[in-house]
């Protein structure tokens, strides 16, 4: 019983410490606004990956602003082809 509890706690810590939770090909990443250029916003996540997203509305975007990116894996293991499906400001 004690061993099972320790394994569960370890798994919980492992999943939540990565900041990346996958559910049905959708996960979230913390990032910050790096650049805004002609309606294209460039974000950098905590691991240094750059992501681009086309601005949808007239929302004021500030450089350095922290955001949560809702991502889709497109069913692949590689992170390079993942796409942003929503930005939570």
Query: Is domain 20-88 given the CATH code 2.40.30.170 in the classification?
Result: no
State how far the Cα of 30 lies from the Cα of 21, in Å rounded to an integer.
11
- Model confidence at 60, pLDDT cuts 50, 70, 90, reads confident
pLDDT at 1: 76
pLDDT at 32: 98
Whole-prediction pTM: 0.71
pLDDT at 2: 79
How far from 35 is each of 1, 40, 63, 83, CA to CA, in Å?
Answer: 51, 8, 6, 18
Domain ranges of the chain: 20-88
Instruction: Read off the pLDDT of residues 5-59 as tens digits, 9 standing for 90 and up.
Output: 677 676 666 555 445 555 689 999 999 999 999 889 999 999 999 999 998 777 7
Task: Collect contacts of 1-4 with beta carbons under 8 A, ≥24 apart.
Answer: none
């Amino acid at each position: 019983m004690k061993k099972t509890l320790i394994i569960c706690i370890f798994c919980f810590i492992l999943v939540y410490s990565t900041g990346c939770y996958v559910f049905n090909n959708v996960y979230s990443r913390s990032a910050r606004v790096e650049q805004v250029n002609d309606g294209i916003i460039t974000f950098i996540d905590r691991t240094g990956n750059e992501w681009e997203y086309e601005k949808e509305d007239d929302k004021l975007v500030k450089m350095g602003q922290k955001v949560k990116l809702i991502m889709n894996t497109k069913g692949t293991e590689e992170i390079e082809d993942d796409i942003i499906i929503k930005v939570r400001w």
